[in-house]
Amino acid sequence: MAPVRGRRNGKSVGPVQGSASGLRTCPFKFFHECKDGKPGSVGFFRLLEHMQSTHLKTECRRLSLKGAISKDLDLFLDVAEVLRAGDKWLCGKCMVMHALSRGCKHDNEVVLFAINSGDVEDFIVGIRKPCQVVVDTNPRHPTGLGGKVNLLEHVFSLPIQTVKSIPPSCRLLFAQVLTGALRKVVASPGSVDNWVQLLLLPRCTLQVVRPSSRQERRSGNRKSLQCSNILHALTVWKDGSGFDDLVSSLLNNVEETGAPRGECRREEDKERDPNIKQCLRKVRDGHFTAAVKVLCSSGVAPLGDSTLKALIDKHPVVPPPSSPSNPLAQPTLVVDGECVLKCIRSFPKGTSCGRDGMRAQHLLDAVGGEGSVTSSGLLASITEVVNLWLGGSCPKVLAEFVASAPLTPLLKPDKGIRPIAVGGIWRRLVSKVAMKKVGKEMTQYLGDYQFGVRVPNEAEAVLHSANRFLNSFHADGSLALLTVDFSNAFNTVDRTTFLQGFISVARQSIDLQT
């Protein structure tokens, strides 16, 4: 059976690969649906070779083909049967066929054909047989509330990085997808599933693609590969079952697409100091102040039991604070789009992401880049979701995922550990909005008795004031200043007691005003 060809403007064109969804239809899938007789025919084998020579030159097409084989059991078996009949095997990494005696060379390894199970599945190396996926115990198919939370925890634990900035050609589509996810949350705030999809959107669609060959590492090819993967993921997301498909692919291919490939790095990169590599990254991104700070730092503590114990000692596990039984009868905060946009733009350049992978730059790209034609609708949706958070409408079961932050154990000059916590952008955006809304009133209420709320350079103000006092009264050496830090009070103080005290003071203030 020859490939189906079409005509355009009276001229013969190549095999038809268009589809209504905008994705390229896999020729494997087309043949699988239309073939007659048993697999393994000469026409089918010629189709395989024709595809390899003309249609697998772009990474997007290779991924489309690989996804079709990995999801359809019948198609998987048909392809494997054809390969066995032709005495060839298919490499799942590069989607290239080889003779049984030949290996497939990659940068860090050589993939060889071997008879393992004795079945036809041995002829497809690197792609799991679809029927081998255990559905009922895998968190990618959650059932009930507990399953959704377990899915969120599992995906957050995967070593996946998101792009620092959305490519211009992908911003319009990302803005549309993000708007749709936000509107689903607004339409049904009590649905945990809608919130989970919003939190997993960046990891499913904006993950960094790791080049697998020297040709893909070239600047132009790498950018094209990244754009095509983002566009493909966003297009799949817009389909009916796109979320489930992307999460399943994410869990299946995390070792190939998510985890950093240290073995593929060049030898000079392995020997280079980590601070220098991080400094070069900051310089390439235009963050020169951060680059200087990186060079002056002591680096990150090595992964080990001692580092983990130090982090636990500094951040002990304590029960979450309980909500007051008699809260103040005050209306919830409501903000407008202009306030939200100012807060989004107030994030420092190069702000890191939290566990969900969403960055402030992603929001800026979606609102103001090529997707500016949809900026008003997207900003309105973001504002509505922010107001839901301010009103306490987010399900409490998701609190630890929204408000938590991963810790980076930086080394002090004395080899001690200084944990740096980077929270999620959504939680930080809501905090910024709330502070901007009540900041002036809080400053007037607290007066000059504090240096923490809306006081610029508050730590420096305290330090310089103490130094001036010592310099003024220490001429004869009779005055000394002792600073004591008995315990880690910030991480051990009872937040419930703090909330109760704050409410008590607020009630007294209201009584005095009335």
- Strands 5-8, 417-421: pairing kind: unpaired
Is residue 95 located within the same domain as residue 222? Answer: no
* Domain housing 232: 146-255+302-315+328-427
The 3-class SS string of 464-495 reads HHHHHHHHHHCCCCCCCCCCCCCCCHHHHCCH
Structural domain includes residue 285: no
> Does residue 111 belong to any structural domain of this protein?
yes
**Tokens representing 37?**
């007789």
**Which of 93, 125, 157 marks a domain boundary?**
125
CB neighbour list of residue 402: distance below 8 Å, 6 or more residues apart: 199, 389, 394, 424, 426, 427
| Dihedral over Cα of 42, 48, 51, 52: its sign | negative
DSSP strands (E only) in 394-473 = 407-411, 417-421
Residue 419 main-chain phi, psi, to 5 deg: -75, 135
Say if residue 104 is in the same domain as residue 188. Answer: no
- 365 and 483 part of one domain: no
Same domain, 311 and 452: no
By the 8 A CB rule, do 360 and 425 touch? yes
How many domains does the chain contain in total? 3
pLDDT by 10-residue block (mean), the chain, 514 residues: 42 38 39 42 53 56 75 77 82 83 78 74 81 40 62 86 90 90 92 92 90 74 87 85 82 56 45 75 79 81 86 78 70 88 90 90 81 74 94 89 86 85 92 88 76 76 82 75 72 77 74 67
User: In whole angstroms, what is the distance from residue 44 CA to residue 319 CA?
Assistant: 62
Q: Measuring CA to CA, which residue among 96, 141, 162 is closest to residue 355?
A: 162
Q: Does 436 map to a domain?
A: no
Question: What is the tens place of the pLDDT at every residue in 119-133?
Answer: 777 888 888 777 543
Domain boundary at 427, 460, 483, which? 427
Q: State the first-to-last Cα distance of the chain, in angstroms, to the nearest integer.
A: 88
264 within a domain of the structure (yes/no):
no
Q: Which helix (H) or strand (E) holds 320?
A: none
Would you say the C-alpha torsion 378, 369, 429, 313 has a positive or negative sign?
A: positive
Does the residue 320 lie in any domain?
Answer: no
- Please tell me the distance from the alpha carbon of residue 236 to that of residue 21, in angstroms, as a whole number: 9
By DSSP bridging, strand 417-421 and strand 407-411 are antiparallel
- Backbone torsions φ then ψ of 177, nearest 5 degrees: -65, -45
Over residues 367-424, the pLDDT tens digits come to 875 445 567 889 999 999 999 999 889 998 898 889 888 888 888 888 888 888 889 9
Let me know if residue 487 belongs to a domain: yes
Q: What is the pLDDT of residue 67?
A: 77
Q: Are residues 393 and 470 in the same domain?
A: no
Sign of CA dihedral 467, 470, 476, 480: negative
Pinpoint the alpha helices (H) of 93-218: 144-156, 168-187, 192-205, 214-217
Same domain, 109 and 58: yes
* Secondary structure E strands in 1-108: 5-8, 11-15, 88-91, 96-99, 104-105
Residues 104, 213 share a domain: no
Q: Hey, how many other C-beta atoms are within 10 angstroms of the C-beta on 228?
A: 20
What is the β-pairing status of strands 124-125 and 88-91? Answer: parallel
Q: What angle do CA 449, 450, 456 make, to 5 degrees?
A: 130
Helix or strand or coil: residue 514?
Answer: coil
Identity of the residue numbered 408 = T
DSSP letter at 452?
S
How confident is the model at residue 390, as a pLDDT? 92
What is residue 339's predicted lDDT score, i.e. its pLDDT? 92
Please report the pLDDT score of residue 340 as a whole number.
93
Question: Both 153 and 118 in a single domain?
Answer: no
Is 112 inside any structural domain?
yes
pLDDT of residue 45: 54
Radius of gyration in angstroms for the set of CA atoms belonging to the chain, rounded to a whole number = 28
**In this structure, are 110 and 150 located in the same domain?**
no
211, 260 contact by CB (below 8 A): no
Query: Between the CA atoms of 252, 255, 259 and 260, what dihedral angle is there, to the nearest 10 degrees?
Result: -150
Cα separation, 207 vs 233, in Å, equals: 10
Pairwise CA distance, residues 419 & 417, whole Å: 6
Do 396 and 248 sit in the same domain of this protein?
Answer: yes
In this structure, the answer to whether residues 423 and 455 fall within a common structural domain is no
Containing H/E element for 137? none
CB atoms within 10 A of CB 364: 18
Cβ 369 vs Cβ 437: under 8 Å: no
Residues 97 and 218 in one domain: no
* DSSP codes of every residue in 260-289: --GGGS-HHHHHS-HHHHHHHHHHHTT-HH
The domain boundary residue, chosen from 393, 427, 461: 427
Beta 407-411 vs 124-125: how paired, if at all? unpaired
The token pair at 430 is 């809501």
Q: Looking at the domain assignment, is residue 218 inside a domain? A: yes
